Amino acid sequence: GEDVEQSLFLSVREGDSSVINCTYTDSSSTYLYWYKQEPGAGLQLLTYIFSNMDMKQDQRLTVLLNKKDKHLSLRIADTQTGDSAIYFCAESMKGGYNKLIFGAGTRLAVHP
Amino acid sequence: DGGITQSPKYLFRKEGQNVTLSCEQNLNHDAMYWYRQDPGQGLRLIYYSQIVNDFQKGDIAEGYSVSREKKESFPLTVTSAQKNPTAFYLCASSSRGNTEAFFGQGTRLTVV
């Protein structure tokens, strides 16, 4: 079946790197996503990776994908207080449209 | 500006009442989605529509109904049959083959 799991909380010091981890179960996933949600708001797409890639870097964000272990991670370099939010991992199934399966979200707290 | 608009931002419902949440997009997207978000859980898919006048049940459709009479609009009705409707509701849209689903800012529904 389809299942995406994440740890619920992460606390880091400002300026350090944050690593948020996610595991998924469906090996037929085509895209894997990281979304950011600030309090009381909708979801904002941060980055995504196609399932045949191992790594993707976008400014302070690095996504690593281990297909063998079905493990996805998001690294945020030089974490700032503005990065405090909930981060959702999601996978989409094969097909033309984005029917997304979400994890429960990781709440990132950045402290001075 | 292009985007997705959900209204109202906050909604209060008495027990036994039906309420309708609005979702409008001007992105010319074919597909639209409704998700429900509860604390500590990921987003769960309620209904989705890939084309006008057609929609499919998601994972938790019981107690909800939708319509898709226009491409731009995908309203969600929370009926009295939904036993635990208090939640944050998110609407999203995407175009065929696009990697990104765009989200609205959400509607927080509270039963009083």
The CA-atom distances, in angstroms, between B110 and each of A83, B13, B16, B62, B84 are 28, 6, 13, 18, 10
Alpha carbon of A99: minimum distance to chain B alpha carbons (Å) = 8
B40-66 residue pLDDT tens: 778 899 999 999 999 999 999 999 999
The answer to whether the Cβ–Cβ distance between B45 and A100 falls below 8 Å is yes
pLDDT band of residue A94 (cuts 50, 70, 90) is low
| Residue to test with chain B: of A43, A52, A58, most B Cβ within 10 A | A43
The residue among A82, A40, A86 whose CA lies nearest residue B104 is A40
What is the residue whose two structure tokens read 């449209």? A97
Interface residue A7 vs chain B (CB under 8 A): no
Biggest CA–CA distance in chain A, Å, is: 44
pLDDT band of residue A44 (cuts 50, 70, 90) is very high
The angle formed by the CA atoms of residues A21, A106 and A23, to the nearest 5 degrees, is 35
The answer to whether the Cβ–Cβ distance between A40 and B106 falls below 8 Å is yes
Assess contact for A63 and A33: CB atoms under 8 A: no
B2-15 residue pLDDT tens: 799 999 999 998 98
- List the 13-72 stretch of A: residues with Cβ below 8 A of B: 31, 35, 40-45, 48
If you average pLDDT over every residue of chain A, what do you get?
Answer: 89
